[in-house]
Amino acid sequence: MAAGKRLAAKSGAWVVFEDEAGFSMTPPVARTWGRRGHAPVIRVRGRSRRRTSIAALCCYKPGEKSRLIHRPRTHLLLKGARRSFSWKDYRDLLVRAHIQLGGPIVVVWDNLNTHLAAGLKQYEAEHGRLTTVRLPPYAPDLNPIEAVWSLVRRAMANTAFDTPDDLDRILRRELRRIQLRPRLIDGCLTATGLALNPPTPP
């Protein structure tokens, strides 16, 4: 992580943390109130064959408002169907980040095998404004995106979704709510114990 911070300071780059999460029609469950002696019950529709995955980036740069960039993907839970992002999906997310941030980026992500795909390595080699840094194994507490997922799931807790489209609509609404609150994105970084300091003048 220190290497990533030094790279960002040297190049004036954005430090971008990436992670992905999956959501289904079964809602997250949280503690709630109910009548004494009556357990609260949430009635949901039968299992859906559709699952929504979100890959997201928390983007930080001293002197700039923090940003959240995300890319959804819908999967059909059928035999032989892909149930996760491909390396091309991650490449397209990085392309979007370059366009929106308008500068070099240092991507910090885990050692997911798709992140190590030859296609992504080639894309990085061909684009000097992109540098990748690997998180240590089993260290989700160092990734502020984990706090984003916690906020989203907390807001969706105990919600009975009518249709898969209803699930997607609520996901977009909650992610948009976070996007409009840069201080909330800053808080996700603070929760990791990491800090980005502005580069020192020469």
Side-chain half-sphere exposure of 96, counting CA atoms within 13 A:
16
In this prediction, what percent of the chain has a pLDDT beyond 90? 50
For residue 106, pLDDT beyond 90: yes
Of residues 77 and 5, the one with the higher pLDDT is 77
In this prediction, what percent of the chain has a pLDDT beyond 70? 79
For residue 120, pLDDT beyond 90: yes
DSSP code at position 18: E
* Span 144-198, pLDDT tens digits: 999 999 999 988 887 778 788 888 999 999 999 999 999 999 999 999 998 876 5
Cα angle, residue 187 at apex, residues 181 and 188 outer, rounded to 5°? 100
Please, what are the domains in the chain? 2-21+48-190 (3.30.420.10)
Distance (Å, rounded) from C-alpha 122 to C-alpha 134? 17
- The pLDDT, as a whole number, for residue 201 is 52
**Comparing 23-32, 39-48, 70-79, 104-113, which segment has the lowest mean pLDDT?**
39-48
Distance (Å, rounded) from C-alpha 176 to C-alpha 155? 12
- Work out the mean pLDDT of the chain and round it to a whole number: 84
Look up the pTM and report it. 0.83
**Comparing 73-82, 105-114, 124-133, which segment has the lowest mean pLDDT?**
73-82
DSSP code at position 138: T
Tell me the mean pLDDT in the region 6-32: 76
Distance (Å, rounded) from C-alpha 70 to C-alpha 59? 11
Distance (Å, rounded) from C-alpha 66 to C-alpha 144? 12
- Both tokens of 156, joined, read 């969706």
- The pLDDT, as a whole number, for residue 199 is 53
**Comparing 14-18, 22-26, 53-57, 59-63, which segment has the lowest mean pLDDT?**
22-26
